[in-house]
Amino acid sequence: MKRRRIAALALSFMMVGTMLAGCGTGSEAPAGGETTAQAQAGEKKETTEGAASGEKTTLSMMVFPSTENYETINEKFLEQNPDLAEKVDFEVQLGGSGDGDVADKLRLALTSGENVPDIVRLNYTQLPEFAKAGVLYPLGDYIAEYEEKIIDAAKSIMKYDGTYYALPREVKPKVWFYRADIFEECGIDVRQVKTIDEFIAAGETIREKYPNACMENYNVPTTSYDFMMMLSGTGAGFCDENGNYNLASNEDVKLTFERMKKLNDSGVMSSAAEWSADWTPAFDNGEIVSQLIGGWFKTDFKNFNLESQKGKWAMAPWPEEIREGSDAGGAIWVIP
């Protein structure tokens, strides 16, 4: 019974909390009251269980890479849902710097049966392991009434083997961040940049006015999500439908590496390593004027505090040739 109440409460939170996360921590509720999602979430009957006795449920959340953003979201969520604020407290736990750390801690908690969090943020790529092991609470009964309103991209990261085990924190589209002021000054319309060759040519045009400007940054080894974004764009995989490895002969895998090599050899790439001490300064000093990355970067980018560049950055889809796919599917919430 407790797990069912936690599932219902967590569902209410995840529906609205995900929406708040997508808007950034500075977002406010629309004038005039609740959004439709908030109103629907508040209608879940199960959230009243235990309320008559005055019981207040504490939901423990395991997250990464820090707790601050989630604590802010929780605070806003409870402010906008005072009925739930009377019944729920949140305890945010840091699972580590990345999703791998969280998965390790969750495995240990499940093995020991102690300190198992009520809500866990994972990456979609980790869902099969825990869903197949039978340690995740199925959410189909709670999702049913909203299913028709959920976009396909979100549904794809919510399921394992046809069963809903997760709710999306964010679907991870490919987003091209670029210096709109510089691109406009150099006469480049990102909507007309449709191929890798045109992307490189745009960088060469910008370099005529800004010799140190770079369109991206690749290193050896590259970040895993750069590789996954390129790989998903070709539809490539490492094995056939029977599970036999074929990456050495798969033409789409070959195409992935050819595309990455073309960019790496282009002369318009920065050597500043992502998440290194050199990365933020490369944006700040104009070395990086463009970035092909996932939509999740928006929140991290705000934390770079590039005061002199406020209002100068814009977002667009990736060039058409490499636009398909995503990076690792997306971030999800699950209930052990």
Distances (CA, A) of 279 to 181, 256, 327: 21, 25, 20
The predicted pLDDT at position 3 comes to: 65
Q: Please give the residue that has the higher pLDDT: either 142 or 18.
A: 142
- Side-chain-facing half-sphere of 125: CA atoms under 13 Å: 11
Residue-wise pLDDT for 192-208, tens only, equals 999 999 999 999 999 99
Average confidence (pLDDT) over 268-294: 94
Domain co-membership, 185 together with 163: no
Domain co-membership, 155 together with 93: yes
Lowest mean pLDDT among 9-13, 105-109, 260-264: 9-13
Range of the domain at 6: 2-171
Asked whether residue 218 carries a pLDDT value surpassing 60, the answer given is yes
Q: Which of 171, 193, 227 is the last residue of a domain?
A: 171
> Using 50, 70 and 90 to split pLDDT, how confident is the model at 225?
confident
The identity of residue 106, as a single letter, is L
Residue-wise pLDDT for 42-79, tens only, equals 444 444 444 445 678 899 999 998 898 899 999 999 99
Average pLDDT, the chain: 85
Nearest CA to 144 out of 158, 130, 133, 132 is that of 158
Residue 174 has which token pair?
Answer: 């490919």
- Indicate the pTM of the whole model: 0.71
Distances (CA, A) of 28 to 12, 20, 32, 33, 104: 18, 8, 11, 11, 35
- In the three-class reduction of DSSP (H, G, I as helix; E, B as strand; rest coil), residue 175 is classed as strand
- Please tell me the total count of domains within the chain: 2
SS3 assignment for 96-137:
CCCHHHHHHHHHHHHHHCCCCCCEEEEEHHHHHHHHHCCCCC
Asked whether residue 291 carries a pLDDT value surpassing 80, the answer given is yes
Q: Please give the residue that has the higher pLDDT: either 236 or 287.
A: 287
Residue-wise pLDDT for 8-23, tens only, equals 766 666 665 554 444 3
* Contact (Cβ atoms closer than 8 angstroms) between residue 167 and residue 330: no
The predicted pLDDT at position 98 comes to: 85
Kindly state the helix (H) or strand (E) to which residue 162 belongs, with its residue range: none
Domain co-membership, 253 together with 282: yes
Q: What CATH number should be reported for the domain holding residue 231?
A: 3.40.190.10
* Distance (Å, whole) CA 263 – CA 266: 5
Helices 251-264 and 196-209: crossing angle in degrees, nearest 10, is 10
Domain co-membership, 213 together with 93: no
Residue-wise pLDDT for 303-316, tens only, equals 888 999 999 999 99
Domain co-membership, 162 together with 248: no
